[in-house]
Amino acid sequence: MLPVSLNSAVHARVRCAAVLLVLFIAPAVSAQSQDETVSSPADVSLPQISAVPIFSAGLAYNTFIQGGTPNLHPLVSPVILIPFGENWLIESRDTFEINLAPVPGENGYKGYLQKEVDYLQLDYIASRYFTITVGRFLTPFGVYNERLYPVWIRDLQSDPLILPISTGPSGAGTGAMVRGAIKATPKIEVNYATYFSTLSRDTPFDSDRDVGARAGIFLPGPRLEVGGSFQYLLEDQRSNAFGFHFAWQPPPLPLDIRAEYARSQNGSGYWIESAYRLSQLNVLHDALRRLQLVARMQQYYLGKVLDADLPQVNTNMFEFGMNYYIQDDFRFVTSYGRQFAPDGGNMNVWTLGVTYRLALPVGHGDVQ
Amino acid sequence: MNSRCVILSGALAVAAGLLLLAHSARGQQGGTPAPTRTGSPATGHAQAQTTSPPDDEALRVEGEKRFHANCGRCHQSPHKFPPRMVMTIERHMRVRATLTDENMRLIVRYLTQ
């Protein structure tokens, strides 16, 4: 009797997941059917320039001082983009990093090289509303993992406490994904991503077996974006997870406000971050226009099942940072944070570092 | 069980909302002519212009606007890249940041001019 009821429950959940996937994909398919009749600025022709492969990399050298213990953290994250045909793209990002820490009783710092394949995926842009991705991809749960994670993008170098929630053991899934964006009205854009990931425990390609979806609405006028994510874990600990994201860049101001909330069986929490670039001040304009002030507040609450990647106790943290931009992709970063946790978990966290992003074409390309 | 029902109901509501938005988009795109950006008076001659493609300067201005609105969602607006790189970055960002086709076309046009 028990196996029968278990199977029924499993099948019911799989059916629910399938229905959800279909419903999330439906808007794209519905809009795609109108693809041929659209006549708007979207019909602007692209220049006849062939795309060339690109080698890019994010580089960082950060010093973290946590509770008085310094850690040196060099990181290189190469990105390779290989376009072919009219609608295909192979893209990959790896991360090589070392966490150098002092060893008690010895001189100097010691650590070991950590390697990770963040993503290695094949994209096919099937239509203006619909892209199919297969391979290893960043889990689209929230937006931080996909869009804000690179060291040269993130405003504070430390990860949000809730980042490991539902992004998998290494922030990536292995399987297939369908995603895209739709201009619903002149003032509303809708974006979506649905995915299935299979179980893998082969480092550095480890991933969880799960299905999930993310949908968001972007209002280009006020530059406001809100959305939600859902994931169903298809392993021994079958469970649901959900989250919400929010981003706002008020057009008159060089201000970014972002926030995320996530909840799963492993815990729940939120972070809210604001970053203000002092480019509109009249005083010392040449110097201050390159300076950005950042603040972030976050809280994490333990769940039913402990996860080694998440804090092991309820944790609150506040951080304040300053970034000085030499260029849009080269900057000095510094921050101070105070962590509040029980049982001696209170500590100061200082960060000092430099981040850089390079991008190089590989090939000449043709202009017609 | 209750929390699961709430989550599923919420997801269904989001999906239904997306369907409605897609439906409204279909109605708008199929039922109205392309908007003119020339600002011509509404004469009979200008009425015919509403279906002509927007002029280059208007597209450039719109492309710059979309460039700052979309690229700035995640990072500082980057400097211009060579056109051969822009065509690749366009595909990459279209997938990574789920930008619309219209945004990408206007941004590519702006960055390659």
Whether B61 and B14 map to the same domain: the answer is no
Q: Reply yes or no on whether the pLDDT at A157 is more than 60.
A: yes
Residues 6+ apart with CB under 8 A from A98: A72, A73, A74, A75, A111, A112, A113, A114
User: First CA to last CA across chain A, in angstroms?
Assistant: 69
Band of residue A283 on the pLDDT scale cut at 50, 70, 90? confident
Give domain status of residue B43, yes or no.
Answer: no
- What is the pLDDT, as a whole number, of residue B27? 42
Q: A324, A331 in Cβ contact below 8 A?
A: yes
Put simply, whether B72 touches A (Cβ < 8 Å) is yes
Whether residue B28 sits in one domain with residue B70:
no
Strands (E), chain A: 54-66, 69-84, 88-98, 101-102, 109-110, 113-127, 130-138, 172-185, 188-197, 210-219, 224-233, 239-248, 255-264, 267-277, 291-302, 315-327, 330-340, 347-361
Question: Across residues A93-103, what is the average pLDDT?
Answer: 94
Q: Are residues B113 and B72 in the same domain?
A: yes
Q: What is the pLDDT of residues A286-310, one digit of tens each?
A: 889 999 999 999 999 999 888 888 9
Q: What's residue B15's pLDDT?
A: 54
In one-letter notation, the amino acid at residue A75 is L
Residues of chain B in contact with residue A44, where contact means CB-CB under 8 angstroms, are 53-54, 59, 102, 105-106, 109
The whole-number pLDDT of residue A160 equals: 95
User: Which residue in chain A is spatially nearest to B83 when comparing CA positions?
Assistant: A49
Is the same domain home to B61 and B27?
no
Per the listing, tokens 């700052």 go with B68
Same structural domain, B24 and B57: no
User: What average pLDDT does this structure show over B74-80?
Assistant: 81
On the question of pLDDT at B26 being above 80, the answer is no
Share of chain B above pLDDT 70, in %: 52
Judge if B12 and B55 occupy the same domain: no
Residue B99: list chain A partners with CB under 8 A: 181
Q: Say yes or no for a CB contact (<8 Å) between A364 and B84.
A: yes
A16-25, A140-149, B51-60: lowest mean pLDDT where?
A16-25
Chain A residues with CB-CB distance to B81 below 8 A: 359
- Where is average pLDDT lowest: A46-50, A181-185, B15-19? B15-19
Please write down the long-range contacts of A100-109, taking CB distance under 8 Å and 24 or more positions apart: A100/A71, A100/A72, A100/A73, A100/A74, A101/A69, A101/A70, A101/A71, A101/A72, A102/A69, A102/A70, A109/A72
Q: Is the pLDDT of residue A4 over 70?
A: no
Is B38 contained in some domain? no
Q: What is the mean pLDDT of residues B46-62?
A: 64
Q: What is the pLDDT of residues A205-239, one digit of tens each?
A: 889 899 999 999 999 999 999 999 999 999 877 88
B54 to A146: CB separation less than 8 angstroms, yes or no: no
B87 touches chain A (CB under 8 A): yes
Q: What is the pLDDT of residue A11?
A: 55
Q: For tokens 């990770």, what's the residue?
A: A116
For residue B45, the model assigns a pLDDT of: 37
* Nearest residue in B to A50, CA atom: B84
User: Do B101 and B59 fall into the same domain?
Assistant: yes
Q: Which residue has the higher pLDDT, A140 or A108?
A: A140
Higher pLDDT, A66 or B45: A66
- The predicted structure's pLDDT at residue A282: 85
Confidence of residue B88 (pLDDT cuts 50, 70, 90): very high
- Single-letter amino acid, residue A138: L
Q: For residue B95, which residues of chain A lie inside 8 Å, CB to CB?
A: 89, 91, 123, 125, 131, 133, 179
| Residue B42 domain-assigned (yes or no) | no
Low-confidence winner among A38-52, A290-304, A342-356 (lowest mean pLDDT)? A38-52
Q: Is the pLDDT of residue A177 over 70?
A: yes
How confident is the model over A54-67, as pLDDT tens digits?
999 999 999 999 98
**Domain, as residue range, for B64:** 51-113
Average pLDDT, chain A: 87
Total domains, chain B: 2
Helix orientation angle between B83-96 and B101-112, rounded to the nearest 10 degrees: 160
Which residues in chain A have Cβ-Cβ distances shorter than 8 Å to B8? 16, 20
Decide if B100 is inside a domain. Answer: yes
Interface test with B, best of A35, A182, A327, A329 (most B CBs within 10 A): A182
Residues 89-108 of B with CB under 8 A from A: 89-92, 94-103, 105-106, 108
- pTM of the predicted model over 0.90: no
In a domain, B89, yes or no: yes
> Quick one: tokens of B102?
């219209």
Of A115, A123, A74, which Cα lies nearest the Cα of A94?
A: A115
Cβ pairs A/B, distance under 8 A? 215
Q: Among A368, A364, A347, which residue's Cα sits nearest to residue A64?
A: A347
Q: Does domain A52-361 have CATH number 2.60.40.420?
A: no
Q: Is pLDDT of A37 > 50?
A: no
Q: Which residue of B has its CA nearest to A360?
A: B85
pLDDT value of position A358: 93
Are residues B27 and B63 located together in one domain of the fold? no
Question: In this structure, is residue B39 part of a structural domain?
Answer: no
